[in-house]
Each structure stands twice: as structure tokens, then as C-alpha cells.
Amino acid sequence: MLRNADLALYAAKAEGRATSRRYDPRLDEETQERRRLEIGLRHAIDGGELELHYQPLMNAKNGEITGAEALVRWNHPERGLIPPIDFIGLAEETGLILPLGDWVLRTACAQAATWPAHITVAVNLSPAQFRDPTLASVVMSALSSSGLAPNRLELEITEGVLLNDEARTLATLACLKEAGVRISMDDFGTGYSSLSYLRKFPFDKIKIDQSFVRQIPEDSESAAIIRAIITMSSCLGIATTVEGVETGEQLAFSVAEGCDTIQGYHISRPLNEAAFQRVLEVTQPIMPTTVRRYNHELKDALPAA
């Protein structure tokens, strides 16, 4: 009875203050499902069930592939490929994000070290990783053991990283930047999007959240917001990536607005490592023609300024 009362208490707490919950057998099932997932994830990290997929990043000016974002997947023996949204939260709550993040960094650096020297790799870091005082040395160790040049590694952080213990986080970021690693602000335009962060830390790149480009061409507000972020970033000397570009029109709009890098299904979905290597070998010369075509032919279809 006490255990069940506890489950109800946790459920009430999870919903915020001044609320009550009765025990419900479903709470038990949820707890057990989480526990199973946690044990499975622990096993996945040690047992080689994680894999990285790479989504190509395209230079908006000349159509060349300049790098890729590493995106983790859990290749579950029964459930197949599980997307990060289904396990990153659990990994953060249980502390498993530290060994998971370590694995992602080491694997991404080791694989990128085998790519041509001008191709970069971007790795996502979650706020929980910044609470670990050894983060900077974990990154440096991944670089040195792979032999990857620091300027080929980009770390993507969301503003959630800067919400707590800002001073220590900024010190860690400064230390990484000093070592030559590049730092990007991910999903910009969602959350609080405090502009003061842009003054506090010299980000190398801003990634404009995909929710804005998704509304192009119908929504003139989204178009205005993308335009404004690109203008602001360029005044600050920060490069921009438009995320989630799915159509030729969205590509044409982003290119015409002067963003630096394009990412999205229209260029390529995330690929396994072997397939990404083939993109680097095969499609490199095709991309510039594609961009030039969209840039010139489809500009007329853009929403008005």
C-alpha cells in the first residue's frame, strides 16, 4: 500500500504543485515499462545497439556538402530503430546520458576522422552533459583518440543548456572554443530565445528551428522571422543554418535570404555512415546545379518581403 501511495505521490508531483492523484494500476505499468526501458538502454550502450546516422549539411552558396549532423538511434533487437525522442529524455533522467553522450562523441569523431578533411561533424549535447564537470575533457579525449582536428567538430546546444549554472556552462563553452571546437545554438526561435545569450557567448552558428521554415511559403510571419534572424546573425558575424527544409520552395527561400547552410529532407534524410560516405563520393558535383536551379528558377515563388 505504501509503495502504491508513493507511485501516486510521484505522479502528483510530476504534474506540479497543489494537485492530488489516486493510485491507478496503470501507474505501476508505466513505472515497470520505464524500468525495462532503462535496463534495455543501459545494455544498448554497452552492447553496441546504438548507431549514429548522419544528415548532410549543404553550403547554401555553392551547393557543396560541408558536413553532417550526427543523430543517435537505438537499434533495438525487437523494436527496431528507436528515434532519440523516445529515449534521450529517459537517458537524461537516469544519468545514462553521460555514457551515451560519451559514446556519441567518440563514435562521431572516429567516423568523421575517416571522411575528407574539409567535412565537419556536428554533435548534440544535452543540458545534463553540461552538469558533468569533466565534459570538456571528455570532448578533448574524443578528439585526441580519433585524431580529428578540433575545428572539424561542432557542438550543438539548445538554450536549455544556459538556463542553469550559467557561469560554469559559459566557462566550459569558452574552454572548448579556445581549443578550436565550434559551438552552435540549436533550435533557435523556440523556447525563450533570449537574445542576451548571443551577447554572452560568441556562438559560431545559429540553427533556425524547423518550425519556421515548415510554414513557408504560406505564412509571411514565419518568412519575416527567418529573414530577421539571418540579418541579425550576419550583423553579429554568426553563420546560420535553416533546419527542416523539405521542399524546393523552402530551399529557394532560404538560399535567397542569404543563410549559409541548409539542412533538411529536401537535401537528404539522415543516413547510416556507409550511405553518407557514398553521398560524399557520388553526389557532390550534382548538388551545386540543384541549388543554382532552385535559386534562379524558383525565386519568383517566394513570399513577398
Helix (H) / strand (E) containing 185: strand 182-188
**CB nearer to Mg ion: pick between 102 and 243:** 243
CA–CA separation, 5 and 204 (whole Å): 50
CA–CA separation, 161 and 131 (whole Å): 9
CB 45 within 8 Å of CB 96: yes
Look at residues 234, 279, 228 and name the one whose alpha carbon lies nearest to residue 115: 279
Look at residues 179, 191, 132, 133 and name the one whose alpha carbon lies nearest to residue 155: 179
CB 168 within 8 Å of CB 134: no
Residues 153-192 binding ligand C2E (CB under 6 A) are: 156, 186-187
CB of 70 to ligand C2E, least distance (A): 6
**CB nearer to ligand C2E: pick between 11 and 100:** 100
Residues 106-125 binding Mg ion (CB under 5 A) are: 124
**Which one of 35-43, 181-189, 223-231, 276-284 is the stretch in contact with Mg ion (CB under 5 A)?**
181-189
Under the criterion CB under 5 A, does residue 260 sit at the interface with Mg ion? Answer: no
Residues ≥6 apart with Cβ < 8 Å to 248: 266, 294, 298
Under the criterion CB under 5 A, does residue 249 sit at the interface with Mg ion? Answer: no
Task: Check residue 201 and report its DSSP letter.
Answer: S
Under the criterion CB under 6 A, does residue 55 sit at the interface with ligand C2E? Answer: yes
Under the criterion CB under 5 A, does residue 154 sit at the interface with Mg ion? Answer: no
**CB nearer to ligand C2E: pick between 204 and 246:** 246
CA–CA separation, 87 and 97 (whole Å): 10
Residues 187-226 binding ligand C2E (CB under 6 A) are: 187, 210
CB 125 within 8 Å of CB 159: no
**Which residue in 154, 186, 249, 257 binds Mg ion (CB under 5 A)?**
186
CB 255 within 8 Å of CB 295: yes
Look at residues 266, 238, 74 and name the one whose alpha carbon lies nearest to residue 154: 238
CB of 190 to Mg ion, least distance (A): 9
**Which one-letter amino acid corresponds to residue 213?**
V
Under the criterion CB under 5 A, does residue 156 sit at the interface with Mg ion? Answer: yes
Task: Check residue 303 and report its DSSP letter.
Answer: P
CB of 88 to ligand C2E, least distance (A): 5
Binding-site residue total for Mg ion (CB under 5 A)?
5
What does 126 interact with, of ligand C2E, Mg ion, none (CB < 5 to 8 A by kind)?
ligand C2E
For residue 50, report the phi and psi dihedrals to the nearest 5 degrees.
-90, 145
CB of 156 to Mg ion, least distance (A): 4
The 92-111 site mask, x for binding ligand C2E (CB under 6 A), equals ------------x-------
**Which residue in 1, 2, 14, 85 binds ligand C2E (CB under 6 A)?**
85
What does 88 interact with, of ligand C2E, Mg ion, none (CB < 5 to 8 A by kind)?
ligand C2E
CA–CA separation, 287 and 71 (whole Å): 22
**CB nearer to Mg ion: pick between 243 and 260:** 243
Which residues of this protein are in contact with ligand C2E, per CB under 6 A? Answer: 55, 71-72, 83-85, 88, 104, 124-126, 156, 186-187, 210, 244-246, 263-265, 270
Which residues of this protein are in contact with Mg ion, per CB under 5 A? Answer: 124, 156, 186-187, 243
